[in-house]
Amino acid sequence: MDDSAFKAFLLKAHAYCLPKLNRLTQSAADSEDVFMEAAYQFWKDLQSGKIKNQRNLKALLFVMAKNRYISLQRKRKRKSLQEHSTDPQLIHLESAAHQPQGNIPDPLVEQEEAAAEAQVQQHRQQAFDRALQQLDAKCRELLLRFIVEKERLKDLAQSLGYPSVDAVKMAKYRCKEKLVEGFGSLV
């Protein structure tokens, strides 16, 4: 997507996302900030090839903005709770202050959000599958047998030819690191 096409898309997506974000954030300024951060991340993901074959890009951008807002709310809540005393009343007031008020569910919006969430989830699953396939056969077998089949480390050490349980633990740890690294580069 070239710059002019992206700008045209961004204008349409802005008109699509902002009313929904306003309902979520209860603040036009927060909505704009969250949208711009999500649009920047969307642009980076688009340029790096992480976004492919998406059917509803506006909905995907909205989900990215919504997730960004939720993430910011969690950070604000954590920071606020750390700054204040452990008085339960203060914690309750802080918690309530960061909750959106008066949101009336819109079935159409909820349906679009659910579809976009499913699309994001499918993208993440595909990235995980690709990351798993990029591992060497021994790592892949070790992780699948440990995680999926719930095989004990002692049994894995014997059947896969590791000299000890500690050796298979270390191999499992390294394989998980490779998987997480591969997944992170694909998502």
CA 72 to chain centre: 13
Task: DSSP for 42-102, please give it.
Answer: HHHHHHHT---S-S-HHHHHHHHHHHHHHHHHHHHHHHHHHHS-S-HHHHHHHHHHTS--S
d(CA 182, CA 167): 23
Q: Give the pLDDT confidence score for residue 172 in this predicted structure.
A: 92
d(CA 48, CA 181): 16
Q: Contact at 8 Å (CB) between 156 and 103?
A: no
* Coil vs helix vs strand at 26: coil
User: For the chain, give me the number of helices (H) and strands (E)?
Assistant: 8, 0
Where do the structural domains in the chain lie, given as residue ranges? 1-99+106-112, 135-187
Q: Give the pLDDT confidence score for residue 93 in this predicted structure.
A: 53
Q: Contact at 8 Å (CB) between 119 and 54?
A: yes
Q: Give the pLDDT confidence score for residue 138 in this predicted structure.
A: 92
In tens digits, what is the pLDDT along the chain, a chain of 187 residues? 667 887 888 899 899 998 998 888 888 888 899 999 988 888 888 888 888 777 788 888 888 889 888 888 888 777 766 665 555 555 555 555 555 554 556 677 777 787 888 888 888 888 888 888 999 999 999 989 998 889 999 999 999 999 999 999 999 999 999 888 887 776 6
Taking the whole predicted model, whether its pTM rises above 0.85 is answered as: no
Q: Which CATH entry fits the domain spanning 135-187: 1.10.10, 1.10.357, 2.60.120, 3.40.50? A: 1.10.10
Q: Give the pLDDT confidence score for residue 106 in this predicted structure.
A: 66
